[in-house]
Structure formats: C-alpha cells, structure tokens
C-alpha cells in the first residue's frame, strides 16, 4: 500500500466527520427505539469518529509539511535563482509576483492549512522559475 498523503488524510478526516454526523443522525432518528446502552454506545462512537477526524487534519498538516520538505529544497534552490534574477531584474512585476507568492506561503504555513500550503508552495516555485 502506498504511503498516506496529505490529501488522503484530509479525505479521511472528512469521511470520519461525515460518518460521525450520520451516526448522530441515526441515534436521534431512532432515539425512542434505542436502549440507553445503545444510545450511549452510538454517542461514544460518534465522538471517537469526530476525534479521529480532528486527528486526521493534524496528520494532514504534518504530511503536507513532510511532502513540502522536498519542495522546500526546490524552493530554496529556486529562491537562490530568483535572488540572483531579482538583483538584475528590470521588471518590477516579476519581483512583486515572487514576493507576493512568498508572503502567501508564509501565511498558509502560519494558518496550518494543508491545502493552502501546497497551493502556495507551488505558487512560489512557479513565480521563482517563471
């Protein structure tokens, strides 16, 4: 089996959350026919799945950062190339594009949003190598 990716972890997080909601809906829809023990068991599973969903988001962030480690090395190389280019560039728009992409990546990392990190890491690479 291939290793879990950040996209896989985010998809699992959504699936766990959706399943938790479905179990909660089932529990309330069948409240009057369920025993107290069954209600309690379903509620415990509902919360366990919500916690698993949250854990998967955390895992996705970690995987995104791991996945971006290789990209970070590419970004560093691209940044060095971009720095040399910026020193000789006469096109202010290109410098602004590189700077804006880097600011976007910094904000994405600070927000711990895996999707935004991946998107903005690509934007930095694209801007630095355009």
pLDDT at position 31 is 96
4-123-68-128 Cα dihedral, nearest 10 degrees:
150
pLDDT at position 111 is 74
pTM of the full structure? 0.51
Q: Write out pLDDT tens, residues 72-125.
A: 565 566 556 655 655 565 566 776 786 777 777 767 766 767 667 767 777 777
Residue in 19, 21, 12 with CA at minimum distance from that of residue 54: 12
Give residue 47's pLDDT band: very low, low, confident or very high (50, 70, 90): very high
Q: Write out pLDDT tens, residues 7-35.
A: 777 888 888 888 989 999 999 999 999 99
Alpha helix stretches (DSSP H) within the chain: 6-29, 36-88, 92-111, 114-129
């Amino acid at each position: 089996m291939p290793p879990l990716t950040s996209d896989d972890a985010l998809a699992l997080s959504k699936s766990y959350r959706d399943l938790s909601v479905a179990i909660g809906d089932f529990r309330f829809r069948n409240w009057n026919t369920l025993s107290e023990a069954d209600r309690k068991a379903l509620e415990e599973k509902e919360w366990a799945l919500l916690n698993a969903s949250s854990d998967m988001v955390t895992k996705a962030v970690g995987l995104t950062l791991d996945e971006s480690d290789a990209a970070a090395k590419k970004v560093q190389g691209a940044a060095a190339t971009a720095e040399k280019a910026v020193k000789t560039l006469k096109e202010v728009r290109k410098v602004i594009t590189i700077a804006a992409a880097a600011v976007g990546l910094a904000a994405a990392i600070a927000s711990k949003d895996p999707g935004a990190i991946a998107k903005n890491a690509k934007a930095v690479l694209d801007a630095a190598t355009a």
